[in-house]
Structure 1
Amino acid sequence: MTQTTLHTDIVIIGAGIAGLWLHHRLNDMGIHALLIENGQIGQGQTLSSQGIIHGGSKYALNGVLSKAAQVISTMPARWKNALNGEGDIDLRNVKKLADHQLLWSKDKLSSKMVSFFASKALSSRMQRVDKQEAPALFQDAGFKGTLYQLDEPVLDIPSLLTKITEKWHSRMLSVPNNSQYHWQRSGQQLESVQIGDITIHAQQFVLTAGEGNEALLQSLSIKQPSMQRRPLQMVLCKSQNPNQPLPTIYAHSLGSGSKPIATISSHKTQQGDTVWYIGGNIAEEGVAKSQDNLITEAKQLLKNILPWFELPALDWATHAVNRAEPKQSSLTRPDNAFIDSQQNLHICWPTKLALAPDLADQVLRAINVGFIEKQTYDNPEFPHPELAKPLWDRVF
C-alpha cells in the first residue's frame, strides 16, 4: 500500500455546518485548514434541519427569556450579515426560503396567554401580524387565532452547502466511510492522524463530526467529554397531485404549553413539488412510535391546527435523526455551542445550526489563531467529498 503524507495547519474532521463554517473562516484568514469527511457533505444533522436560523423565540414561549434564548439571540443578525456579504464569510447567493418565521396560536385563551407573554419577552423580535398582511393561508375567514412574525430567517440548506463549500473545496479530503483513525502524539500534543493510507500532520485538530465524534473520541481513548443523542422522528408530506400543491408555510403552531405543537417548513423537490417538513413536539414525542402510527397522528394534528384548510391527498414519510450533543444531566438540551480543548485537540458540538458562527468564534479563541505558524503546503492531489442529496429527494 502506497502511503500519502499531507501537511496542514489545522485538521477539521466532519463536514457538517460547524466544520464547514470554521473551515471557511480559517482559510479566509490565510490559515491552511484541511476538512476531512468520511461520507458526503452535510449528510447528517445539517441536511436534516429545517433551515431555521433560530433567535431564541421558541425558548421563551413561557414569557421568560431563558439562557438558551439569550445565547442564540444574536445569531440571526450574524447570519443576515453573511447573507449580505458583510459577515464572517460571504454567503451571498444562498437562497432564503423566508425572511421571517411565523407563529400562530389557536383560538383558545390559554394559547393567547402564552403568545402574550412571549411577545412581551421578545418584543423586539416578535410582532403581531395583521390579518390583511398575513400569508393567504392565514387570511382565510376560518382562521380565528393570532399570528406573529418572528425575526428568524429560513435558509435553503442545499443552497447553503453549495455556497459554503465551493471556495475551499480543494482543501476538503474524502476518506472511506469505514476508515479507522490512528493518532500519533509527541508528548501530550497530537502530531498526526493516519486514516487508511493517508497520514496528516497538523498543529491543531478539531472534531466537528456530530454523532461521529463518539467514535473519534474512542479512537483517542478520551472518555470526557462524552456525547448524548436526543432523537427526533420528523414527518414529511407532499401533495399527490402536482396541480394541488401544498401552500408554502414557515411557522410554529402554538398550543397551551410552552413548546410549539408543530413546526412546519416548506421545501421543493427536484421535480418542483412542495414538501412540508414537520418538527416540534410531534417529532420529539414520535421517537418510539411506528411510522404508521406517527403518520396517523400527524394527519390528525394538521386537521387540528389548520381546521379551516382542506388538505389535498398526501404522500407521507418519516425521518429519524439524532441531535448529537455533549452529555447533559437528564438528557436536557445544552444552552449553547460547546467546545472542550485538550492541548491541541478541540472537541466540538454546535448543538444548533444557527450557532455555527458562535462555535467558530470559540474555536478561533481556543487555538489562538495569532500564534498559528502559517505555512505554504505543496500537498499531492487527493479525493474531495461530494454534497449529499437533499432529504426531500431521498424519502419520496
Structure 2
Amino acid sequence: MTSTAIDTDIVIIGAGIAGLWLHHRLNQLGYHALLLEAHQIGHAQTLAAQGIIHGGSKYALNGVLSNAAQAISAMPARWQACFHGSGEINLSQAKILADHQLLWSTQRLSSKLVSFFASKALQSRMQAIPKSARNGIFADPGFKGALYALDEPVVDVPSLLGCFQQNYGHRILHTGAATLKFIREGQGIHRLAIGDTLQIKAQHFIVTAGEGTGELLSHHHIQRPEMQLRPLQMLLCKSADPSSPLPAIYAHSLGSGSKPIATITSHSDQHGNMVWYLGGNIAEQGVGKSPDKLIREAQALLKQIMPWVSLPDLDWATVNINRAEPKQKGFSRPDSAFVESHDNLHIAWPTKLALAPDLSDQLISTLQNASTNQHSYPEVTVLPQATVATPLWDRAFS
C-alpha cells in the first residue's frame, strides 16, 4: 500500500488546551506546526474543566502560599490580557462567564478562621465583599456568612476552543482511529506514521494528549515519564422546569478544612437552561460511589451550604473524569506544568487548564534552544480538520 509523505516543522499530538495554546504560539512565531487529534477538539479533560483560570487561591486556604499557589499565581493576569485582545493570543471572542470567582464561608467560626488566614496569605488576590456590594444569591438577607472575590475569571470553555480555530484551524487535523507510530532514525524520531497511508516528517514531536499520553508511551515502550490518573466524579444539575432556572453562581464553598467543600460554576446548555457544575471535595470523595448515592450526598450538601436558597426541583447527572498528570510520590497533585524531553520527542502535561501558557513557554524555549528551523510547507489536505466536541452539559443529560 502506498503511503503519502508530508513535511512540517513540528507535530503536536492532542488538541486539548495544552496542544491548542502551543500550536497557536508556534504558528504565530513562524513555525509550520500541525496539531493532530484522534477525537474532537477538547473532548476530554479540557471540556470537563470548569473554566476557572486559577491563580492559586484554593491552594492557600490553610494560610500558606504553597508551591502550587506560587507557580500558578501569574496566570490570571496573563489570561486576562488575552481576553482583552492584548496578550500573546487574541482570545477576545471567548465568552467570559464571570470576571471573578467567589468564595463564601458559612457562619461557623472554623470556616471564618480559614477564610481569615487565606485572606492574609493571598492579600490582593482575595478581597472581602461588603454587604452593600453583594449581588445574586449572596445579596439575599438570609446569607449570613463571609464573602470574598478572587482574582480568577471563569471562561466558557467551548467558546475558548473556538478562538483557536479562527487563525490556524486548517492545521488542526483529525486522525480518527488510525494507529500512531513513531519511526526512529538515529537518536531521535524521524517520522510519525498515521495508519498505513500517511507519514509526517518533522524536526520535533510533542505529546500533549492528556490521558491518551499513557497509551502512546506504553505502545512505544517509553518508560519515562510515567503518568498518573487522579479521578473525579463531577456532578451536574439543572432545573426540571426551564421556566424556573437556577441562578448563575461561580464560587467555592469553604468549610473548616483547607479544600473547598464544593466548587460550583454555571453553564447554559443548548436549550438555554442553566446547569450547575459541581467539583471540589465532593467530586474527589465521590470516586467509586454509585451516581445515586453521590447525588443524594450533593442534594444534602447544597441544603447545608446554601440554607437560605430555595432551589427548584433538579435533574441530576454525574460524570467520571480522570486528571492525567506526571506521576508524583503518593499520587499527589503536581505543583506546575511538566515537560520531559527525549531527544526530539517531548512529553507534556499542563496539570491545570490555567497553566497552558506556562507549558507553552517551556516548550518554546526547548525548541529554540534546539535551533529548530522554520519552513514554509504546503497545507495538508489528506486529513480533515478537527471539530470542537460537544460541551459536557449538553452530553450529560442525554
- TMscore range, shorter length: over 0.9
1:2 Cα deviation from its structure 2 partner: 4.1
Q: Is 1:208 matched with 2:208?
A: yes
After the TM superposition, which of the residue ranges 256-265 and 161-170 deviates more from structure 2? 161-170
Q: State the Cα deviation string for residues 339-375 of structure 1 (Å, max 9, x = none).
A: 0011111100000000000000000111116822211
Is the CA contact 1:7–1:379 (under 8 Å) kept in the aligned structure 2? Answer: no
Look up the match of 2:194.
Answer: 195
Cα pair 1:339 1:363 within 8 Å, conserved:
yes
**Alignment-derived partner of residue 386 in structure 1:** 387
Distance 1:157 1:364 in 2: 24
**Which residue number corresponds to residue 14 of structure 1?**
14
Deviation at 1:303, TM superposition (A): 0.2
Output aligned runs, 1:216-365, within 5 Å.
Answer: 216-365=216-365
**CA 1:380–1:34 in structure 2 vs 1: closer, same or farther (change >3 Å)?**
closer
What amino acid is the match of 1:183? F
Other-structure match for 2:80: 80
Q: 1:380 to 1:144 in 2, by over 3 A?
A: closer
On the 8 A contact 2:171/2:379 being kept in 1, the answer is: no
Moved more, 37-46 or 158-167: 158-167
Distance 2:219 2:136 in 1: 54
**Distance between the aligned counterparts of 1:365 and 1:256, measured in 2?**
42
Tell me the CA shift for residue 231 of structure 1. Answer: 0.2
Q: Deviations over 1:240-260 (max 9, x none)?
A: 111111010000000000100
- Aligned equivalents of 1:173, 1:246: Cα separation in 2: 38
Distance 2:186 2:5 in 1: 21
Structure 2: distance between partners of 1:129 and 1:369 = 47
C-alpha distance in structure 2 between counterparts of 1:294 and 1:23, whole Å? 38
Task: Look up the equivalent residue of 1:194 and give its one-letter code.
Answer: A
Compute the displacement of 1:395 (Å). 0.9
After superposition, the C-alpha distances for 1:71-121 in whole angstroms (9 at most, x for unaligned) are: 000000110011111111111111000000000001011000000000000
SS of alignment partner, residue 40 of structure 1: coil
CA contact (8 A) 1:181 1:195 kept: yes
Counterpart of 2:139 in structure 1 is 139
> Secondary structure of 1:168's match?
helix
Q: Deviation of residue 305 (structure 1)? A: 0.3
* C-alpha separation in 1, matches of 2:57 and 2:182: 42
Alpha carbons 1:6, 1:379 under 8 Å: kept: no
Q: Does 1:24 align with 2:21?
A: no
CA drift of 1:186 comes to 1.8
Counterpart amino acid of residue 357 in structure 1: P
Q: TM-score, normalised by structure 2?
A: 0.98
SS at match of 1:302: helix
1:31 match: secondary structure: coil
Instruction: Kindly state the Cα deviation for residue 379 of structure 1 after the two structures are TM-superposed.
Output: 4.5
2:109 corresponds to which residue? 109
Offset, 1:136: 2.4
CA positional deviation for 1:166: 2.0
The CA distance in 2 between the partners of 1:369 and 1:169, in whole Å, is 27
Contact residue 181 and residue 219 of structure 1 kept, 8 A: no
2:396 paired residue number: 395
Q: Distance in 2 between matches of 1:239 and 1:306?
A: 16
**Matches of 2:369 and 2:51, distance apart in 1:** 30
Shift of 1:380: 4.5
The aligned amino acid for 2:67 is K
- Distance apart, 1:148 and its partner CA: 0.3
Structure-1 residue corresponding to 2:60? 60
Contact 2:13 2:208 in 1 (8 A): yes
Q: Which residue of 2 aligns with 1:4?
A: 4
* Identical residues among aligned pairs (%): 60
Paired residues for 1:92-107 under 5 Å: 92-107=92-107
Normalised TM-score (structure 1):
0.98
The offset of 1:165, in angstroms, is 1.9
State the distance in 2 between where 1:287 and 1:103 align.
24
